[in-house]
Amino acid sequence: MENLITDQELVICSDVVAASSWTGRVFDGTWGGNQKVRVRKISDIDVRKKGDFEKYLSPLFAHENVLKVLGSVLNSPDRAHRYFVLEHFDLTLQQYCQNVEIQESLYVMPADIDALRQMAEGLLFIHGKDLLHGSINPDNVFVCTNRDTLGLLVKISDFGLHVAMTAVENRIQSYHWHPRYWLPEEPHEIEPSVYGADFGPDTVQIPESFYNDVFALGCTMFYFLKRQHPFLGPLENDNDPLQQILHNIRIQNAAGLSMLPRGEDHVAYKPIKDMVNNSLEQYTPEESIRRIGRPHLLIAATIFKAYLADHPLQ
């Protein structure tokens, strides 16, 4: 157990990691005396400059589908890590998708299309602030209890705190921190970048863009629906799933989309297909870096809301 004291008291209550990725481990904790929170511990090397992340602490930066950042503490003994105090969440989307017991008895998730709507609206809010996420995947989408209804909400998190994602083999351990949730090197040019002495010459920075965010969320939405990546089709012989995914991304073959019930008639088929379409030929380089993908995200949210209006939740 660690006790960190600032103007408010932060106590890390448990050594049990609630969730983790290369950007930092997550612990159970309490904040301000008795508020249950999650605490993200990030190496200070990987944290964005203070002025860059302080905006996320503003009460104006609030949306029901974006996980709140309640505060931050710089660890006083070694000053090598910063602790971000996060709104309490129950589990990650990945934990939900991989745990049959949770799916069957412990949690009642929002209806599938409502969960997709919530993901889309969370990212739309972030993009509406002209901000990028940079690392969307099933480990960075969280399931939280709604205090008012006791139902569950889906929230986007883990953006804006750490520096841009870097591809360093010895740091990419989690299944979902893999390039399957990044766009391929083509047509984007990936520039070398160094973020500290422990980063070797193979370090590369993955370009952050609205386009990458929308692509990654489309893949994450499909994973939630089918527990499979949309660019993974039927495997032949001993094919490596990852290599097939990366190959299919490069040739724009979202082979898994046909797995949706009713195929192209499924309400999520076209929105997800458009979100993961990675053809840049019709755009200028400047447009491809910043803007494309946003219309597809807005259209997806609109389609999901219209569907829910016509099919009210029970």
pLDDT confidence of 196, banded at 50, 70, 90? very low
Mean pLDDT of 248-271: 89
Torsion sign (Cα): 300, 256, 23, 187: negative
pLDDT tops 90 at residue 30: no
Residue-level pLDDT at 225: 94
pLDDT single digits (tens) 63-119: 999 998 888 777 655 567 778 888 888 888 888 888 766 666 555 677 899 999 999
User: Could you confirm whether domain 2-91 is CATH 3.30.300.30?
Assistant: no
Express as a percent the part of the chain with pLDDT over 70.
Answer: 60
Q: Model confidence at 194, in pLDDT bands (50, 70, 90)?
A: very low
C-alpha to C-alpha distance for 220 and 164, rounded to whole angstroms: 19
Model confidence at 175, pLDDT cuts 50, 70, 90, reads very low
Q: 99 with 165: CB under 8 angstroms?
A: no
Per-residue pLDDT at 26 exceeds 90: no
Compare 190 and 136 and report the one with higher pLDDT.
136
State the pLDDT at residue 42: 75
CB atoms within 10 A of CB 133: 23
Distance CA 224, CA 103 (A): 12
Half-sphere exposure of 252 (CA within 13 A, CB side): 10
Is it true that domain 92-310 has CATH number 1.10.510.10? yes
Question: How high is the mean pLDDT of the chain?
Answer: 72
**Domain boundary assignment for the chain:** 2-91, 92-310
Average pLDDT on 223-235 reads: 87
Q: Tell me the pLDDT tens digit for each residue of 265-290.
A: 999 999 999 999 865 444 444 554 45
- Residue 122's pLDDT is 95
Strand partners, 5: 9
pLDDT surpassing 70 at residue 198: no
Task: For residue 174, name the pLDDT band (cuts at 50, 70, 90).
Answer: very low
